[in-house]
């Protein structure tokens, strides 16, 4: 892995990289459209580094000895499939091209600055594109989507509301990462509008269900990891090997229609109340960039089974926030702030559990964390919790109140990791709610 120390002072010659959420220590990957072409790129400051342009210039072929084009495509899937050795080689090469001076890594090795991109005007103009001029797309073709339920605080809150406040967790929750297989076809990139879904609902005092728009539209503040090479069918991925298959992470808003979900989920779990839209951020922050922010996770009691045990700390100190901007407001209002480090089940445990029955993982699969809630009411990751099932409405700065999400509302989620001299940011995932089609 190509990892910066948390006290890294490395700088890029790209003018606005320092102090941005996309400094040289980050370099997230995504797919952008510019001048009518989709290509793979890495974010640096206010720019996108066109990796396909570098590839076409022979920079990666010269150093990686690869004749296969990885970046002149409209998805990252081919690159994701290439594996960690290639990911590290590309990251090292990009760092060398963007570094103002030689760079010291966390393991004491050096990356020598390469002046070719900085000093070659034509290459620089071709390869560095203002982020204001591009349109972002989904970073990869997502074949499989799993949504977990890995926050103990969130699961306890929901269990207290709907089951037993004295015993909110079901017996299996502390023994395995609970999850379900979602629908990848309705995953959209940040900025895509969200249509209020219709479905069956049944009021508690009604004799029969009715069909119509959801009245209880909610967001779920989540993160998700995207996989690389994957495994053969029938061959589980041990927790200790999971990092070899995890490329990086995105922000996820797994929208939820609570009333539709409540009526349909017995006995098989989430279905149409969850499958209508899932929004993700366009930039994939690599596991290498997140390595300095690994921290101990919550103590797991009782101890987990051997197949879920992994060496090292796999909690992630990622600060998260969710904001809401009504259709009439000019500025968004912060609803909650939380941190992924509270998550009970880690990403390596999630991947190990998913594959423990031998199911196969593909390059570009998305595995979402489930709602990330913290220990205090201002750190809850859903309106269901923040307004406590509608009993504690949230008052916005303009006096409007919300129990759930209204038509015209825009929900914005942001994430970042803070170090002494730099931050690693995720950008944002946002979606505006449109009225239902009836």
Q: 370 is written with which tokens? A: 């489930």
Distances (CA, A) of 348 to 28, 279, 316, 330, 370: 20, 23, 11, 41, 15
Helix then strand then coil, % of the chain, to nearest 5: 25, 30, 50
Q: 257 is written with which tokens? A: 């229609």
- 34, 63, 154, 333: which one is catalytic? 154
The Cα 6–Cα 105 span in angstroms is: 10
Strand ranges for 190-266 from DSSP E: 194-195, 198-201, 210-213, 217-218, 221-227, 246-253, 256-257
DSSP-derived letter for residue 307 is G
The Cα 350–Cα 290 span in angstroms is: 17
The Cα 175–Cα 155 span in angstroms is: 14
The Cα 94–Cα 277 span in angstroms is: 34
CA atoms within 13 A on the CB side of 410: 18
Asked if 154 is an active-site residue, the reply is yes
Catalytic residues: 154
């Amino acid at each position: 892995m190509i990892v910066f120390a948390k006290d890294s002072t490395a700088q890029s010659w790209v003018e606005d990289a320092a102090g941005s959420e996309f400094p040289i220590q980050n370099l997230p990957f995504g797919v952008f459209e510019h001048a009518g072409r989709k290509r793979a790129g890495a974010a640096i400051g206010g720019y996108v580094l066109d990796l396909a342009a570098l590839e076409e210039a022979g920079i990666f072929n010269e150093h990686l000895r690869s004749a296969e084009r990885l970046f002149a495509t409209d998805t990252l899937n081919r690159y994701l499939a290439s594996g960690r050795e290639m990911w590290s080689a590309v990251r090292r090469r990009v760092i060398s091209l963007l570094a103002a001076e030689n760079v010291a890594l966390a393991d004491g090795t050096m990356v020598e600055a390469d002046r070719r991109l900085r000093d070659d005007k034509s290459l620089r103009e071709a390869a560095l594109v203002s982020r204001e001029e591009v349109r972002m797309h989904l970073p990869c073709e997502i074949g499989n989507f799993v949504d977990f339920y890995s926050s103990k605080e969130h699961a306890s809150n929901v269990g207290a509301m709907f089951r037993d406040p004295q015993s909110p967790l079901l017996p299996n929750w502390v023994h395995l990462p609970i999850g379900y297989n979602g629908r990848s076809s309705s995953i959209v990139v940040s900025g895509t509008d969200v249509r209020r879904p219709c479905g069956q609902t049944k009021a508690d005092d009604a004799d029969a269900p009715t069909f119509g728009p959801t009245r209880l539209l909610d967001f779920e503040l989540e993160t998700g990891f995207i996989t690389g090479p994957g495994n053969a069918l029938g061959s589980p991925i041990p927790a200790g090997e999971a990092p070899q298959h995890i490329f990086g992470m995105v922000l996820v808003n797994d929208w939820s229609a609570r009333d539709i979900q409540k009526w349909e989920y017995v006995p098989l779990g989430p279905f149409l109340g969850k499958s209508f839209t899932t929004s993700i951020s366009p930039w994939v922050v690599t596991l290498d960039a997140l390595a300095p922010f690994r921290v101990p996770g919550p103590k797991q009691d009782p101890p987990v089974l051997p197949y879920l045990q992994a060496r090292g700390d796999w909690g992630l100190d990622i600060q998260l926030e969710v904001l809401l901007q009504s259709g009439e407001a000019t500025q968004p209002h912060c609803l909650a702030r939380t941190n992924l480090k509270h998550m009970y089940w880690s990403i390596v445990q999630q991947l190990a559990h998913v594959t423990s029955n031998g199911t196969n993982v593909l390059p570009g699969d998305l595995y979402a964390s489930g709602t990330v809630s913290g220990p205090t009411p201002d750190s809850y990751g859903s309106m269901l919790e923040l307004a406590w099932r509608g009993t504690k409405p949230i008052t916005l700065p303009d006096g409007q109140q919300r129990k759930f999400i209204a038509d015209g509302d825009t929900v914005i989620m942001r994430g970042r990791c803070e170090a002494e001299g730099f931050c690693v940011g995720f950008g944002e995932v946002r979606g505006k709610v449109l009225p239902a089609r009836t």
